[in-house]
Structure 1
Amino acid sequence: MNLNEVQINKSDLLDIKSHLINCDAIFEPPLSSYVDIEKYAKKLYENAVRFEIWEAKRLTCLLAVYINKEDKNVFISNISIEKNSQGKGFGKLLLNSLIKSSLTKQCNEILLEVFNNNTKAIHFYYNFGFSKLDECNDKLVLSFKING
């Protein structure tokens, strides 16, 4: 497995929507309980930079980010890996691809929000090197400092 396996913005709107529907129940809580998947897929397609892993011509892993040039940070809006693709190192591969990309060259940190009860994701992010920045309502705000 290497960084060449990660594609950037290859997906179309239908690919993203299908992927999010396939991953819906994996989210804790389910993605559809707090976003309209169709609208969210459209927002990601139109506005986010997407790091993607494809298996058998199907989008199976997605990392979508927004760049805030003013605050010099990258915000992860979505990271989702279909159930059959989990445990293969794809989450680390996606995050490493983001860190090594030109998007982070002018940024100081990567931020994301995760629900407090999503212990599996929180454990993954802490192991990767994220740290707690803040807590707001039922979510943690995590930060990963980018070394220049």
Structure 2
Amino acid sequence: MSLRLSANESDREQVLTHLRAADAQFVPPLSQRVDLAAYATKLCAHAERDEAWQDGALVGLVATYCNDRDHGAYISNVSVLPALRGQGLGDALVRQALARARERRFPRVGLHLHPDNLAAFALYRRHGFVPGAVEGEQLTMTLTLDRP
């Protein structure tokens, strides 16, 4: 079983299937915060998608909105199927997303996560994200990008 990284190959149904399979890894589960079908549609229409594929299945996804240079890019989703977690796949996909943001000369990348999501917090800290304010139940993290 080999993994293959790509960008923007997935369609709405593949993203939806992936989000459903990864739902429980989110803190709290993603389906408690958003309608998964609508979210999959939005990601496919408006986000850059860095993807990991195994045997034709979408097993890892980082979705980044790159449509507001003044405010920076925004990572909306990072998910790896449970069976493949802990193998560096999330790191590889985040690196790919950050490389795109740098190439497009975004000044920074932001994201939100639940403060109890320690695995996600550690992932983002490894890539240089700095924690900021807590807004409601979401912690803001930001990475100031160096130019390519």
TM-score, normalized by length of structure 1? 0.91
The residue number in structure 1 matching 2:17 is 18
- 1:76 partner letter: I
The residue number in structure 2 matching 1:139 is 138
**Distance in 2 between residues matched to 1:38 and 1:91, nearest whole Å:** 23
Query: Secondary structure at 1:64's aligned position in 2?
Result: strand
The residue number in structure 2 matching 1:60 is 59
**Distance in 1 between residues matched to 2:66 and 2:39, nearest whole Å:** 17
Query: Secondary structure at 1:116's aligned position in 2?
Result: coil
**Distance in 2 between residues matched to 1:93 and 1:70, nearest whole Å:** 23
**Distance in 2 between residues matched to 1:133 and 1:59, nearest whole Å:** 31
The residue number in structure 2 matching 1:99 is 98
1:28-61 deviation line (CA, Å, top 9, x unaligned): 1111111000110111111111000001110000
Q: Are 1:125 and 2:132 an aligned pair?
A: no
Alpha carbons of 1:104 and 1:76: their partners in 2 closer, same or farther (altered >3 Å)? farther
1:8-42 deviation line (CA, Å, top 9, x unaligned): 11011110000000001111111111100011011
**Distance in 2 between residues matched to 1:104 and 1:144, nearest whole Å:** 15
- 1:138 partner letter: E
Cα deviation for residue 133 of structure 1 reads 2.5
The residue number in structure 1 matching 2:77 is 78
Cα contact 1:63–1:76 (8 A) shared by 2? yes
Alpha carbons of 1:34 and 1:100: their partners in 2 closer, same or farther (altered >3 Å)? same
Structure 2: unaligned runs, 5 residues or longer: none
| Aligned-pair identity (%) | 30
Cα contact 2:69–2:106 (8 A) shared by 1? no
Query: Secondary structure at 1:96's aligned position in 2?
Result: helix
Mean alpha-carbon deviation: is it higher for 127-136 or for 107-116?
127-136
Q: How does 1:108-119 map to 2 (within 5 A)?
A: 108-119=107-118
Structure 1: unaligned runs, 5 residues or longer: none
**Distance in 2 between residues matched to 1:38 and 1:128, nearest whole Å:** 30
Displacement over 3 Å in runs of 4+ = none
Cα deviation for residue 145 of structure 1 reads 1.6
TM-score, normalized by length of structure 2? 0.91
